[in-house]
Amino acid sequence: MRSINRRSWRSEDRNDPSLSEVLYVLWERRPLIVGAVALLVLAAVAFGFMREPVYTAEAIVNVRPQQSLESDEEKTAFLEQVRGVVATDADFNREVMRRAGWETGAADFTERLDPEPYVAGDEAGLRVRFSGSEPGVAARAANAYAEHFVERVEQLNDERIAGGSLAAEASMVQRATPPERSNPRPLLYAVLAAGAGVLIGGAAALLLEGRARGWRDVRDVELTLRAPVLGVIPDYSSDGKEA
Amino acid sequence: MDLLLDPGSPMRGHYEDLASNLLSVGNVRSIVVTNPEPGAGCTSVCLGLGAALAGMGYRAAVVDCNLDSPQVHRMLGEPNFVGLTSGLVGDKTLEHYGHEIVPGLLVVPTGPVLSDPAAKLDTEAFLATVRGLEESRDVVILDAPVAGRVLRSPNLSGGFDGILLVVHASRTSKRIARETTDDLIDAGVNLLGVVLNGCR
């Protein structure tokens, strides 16, 4: 019965709950934790299935300056400049939407479009991402933007010869293909919800334990009080009341 | 009451285990039995433990020191005309103010308590009177007030061989029991151990 070493139990640090005490509480209150996990996982899976799936497709356009640029900062600034000249007017977006067959509005189209400059060693360009509710739409829109971007750079280069200011070459290095996986992913949400359930359920278990009036057994007493249990007296009274 | 005192009671074995564990702790002849909050069953444990010790051949005594709320005589269904307080003012030992409810077990109720019970527990007379029982008894068990009161009384917290803490399986708050145990250990008392009472 006295599992705590009498020589050492008084000298134990009594300020913080021990790991064994926490694990014991979590194990004894496992129905609460399992319940919290199950509830959150169900909610997450339901959320994942009810929400409209989002497919993201990516096309890559390579952009090369005609003059030599040394640093990544210079290359990034150059890419922003090219994008500013080529792709910021309303006509550009209207043409991309027309090619993509997009009919639900310019604002929604712009929100789903994400052209991002990249620099990787000697290579630099744009990663054109588009998020749509269908894989084909996402790929078509990303490719429409990339293709029209390349065409506009070539067109402006031709105009430069005739007096324009752009000095760059662009080419499509990767066409977007319809993505197979969508976001949100119910499985990922379920895993995250399970983790949250363990944390919330565990915290609730420890909170309830601190307010409990019931003792389960000798181990519960020894872990909670960190003192040896010398005796266990069962309740033989009919009404459970004693002096 | 028969459950506590009858040698054939199913509880007797549990109290004998408790008695054996207490005796194995070492030189313990006077034990203060207290609880973190009222209702843990201190008086039952005192009487059951005393009866078990008596059944094991030891001469034991239970002294009701709970002057605020005397319990022993109520559990036994007996009057409280004489007892501990009589011994504090008289010149006889407590053997004369109690009676053996089973062979080998002397029970001393509180006796009449007229005023300021706390002050009576902190007198030299109290310590000398109760410890005087050790001349005729192998083990003296003190049915004490709640632990907070014990801690405020130098006699109860440090005047005897050790303290036994009783917690009830369904009526004692875990938080209060933990705080009480911490307080007892921080105060440097000789906490012998814990009794889990009322297990189902």
DSSP string covering chain A: ---S-TTTGGGS--SS--HHHHHHHHHHTHHHHHHHHHHHHHHHHHHHHHSPPBEEEEEEEEEEESS---SHHHHHHHHHHHHHHHS-SHHHHHHHHHHHT--S-HHHHHHHEEEEEEEETTEEEEEEEEEESSHHHHHHHHHHHHHHHHHHHHHHHHHHHTT----EEEEEEE-----S--BS-HHHHHHHHHHHHHHHHHHHHHHHHHH-----SHHHHHHHH-S-EEEEEE--SSS----
Q: State how far Cα A49 lies from the chain centre.
A: 17
pLDDT for A241 beyond 80: no
Report pLDDT digits (tens) over B121-164: 889 999 999 999 999 999 999 999 999 999 999 999 999 999 99
Give the CA dihedral A221, A224, A226, A227, nearest 10 degrees.
Answer: -30
> Any idea which residue has 């029209």 for tokens?
A148
Average pLDDT, chain B: 91
Question: In angstroms, rounded to a whole number, what is the distance separating the alpha carbons of residues B184 and B154?
Answer: 12
Each residue of A32-67: pLDDT tens digit?
999 999 999 999 888 877 777 788 999 999 988 877
What is the mean predicted confidence (pLDDT) over B74-87? 90
Task: Single out the residue of B63, B142, B47, B144 nearest to residue B102, CA to CA.
Answer: B47
**In chain A, whose CA is at the least distance from the CA of B26?**
A6
Residue type at A116? E
pLDDT of residue A89: 78
List the single residue in B11, B49, B192 with the smallest CB-CB distance to A236.
B11
Q: What is the pLDDT of residues A146-182, one digit of tens each?
A: 999 999 888 887 776 555 556 788 899 999 998 887 7
Give pLDDT tens digits for B93-110.
Answer: 899 999 999 999 999 999
Taking CB atoms and an 8 Å cutoff, what residues of chain B touch A211? Answer: 173-175
Q: Residue B195 is nearest to which of A210, A217, A231, comparing CB atoms? A: A231
Interchain proximity B197–A242, CB inside 8 Å: yes
State whether A6 and B197 contact (CB < 8 Å). no
Of A87 and B63, which is predicted with more confidence?
B63
pTM of the model: 0.64
Distances from the Cα of A77 to the Cαs of A71, A73, A162, in angstroms?
A: 10, 6, 25
Q: Range with the lowest mean pLDDT among A177-191, A192-206, B37-51, B105-119?
A: A177-191
pLDDT one-digit tens code per residue, A65-123: 877 777 888 888 888 888 888 887 778 888 999 999 988 888 889 889 999 999 887 78
A235 and chain B in contact, CB less than 8 A:
yes
Which residue of chain A is at minimal alpha-carbon distance from B189? Answer: A10
Residue with the larger pLDDT of the pair A3 and B16: B16
Contacts of A227 in chain B (CB under 8 A): 165, 181, 185, 191, 193-194
In terms of DSSP bridges, do strands B105-108 and A113-120 run parallel, antiparallel, or are they unpaired? unpaired
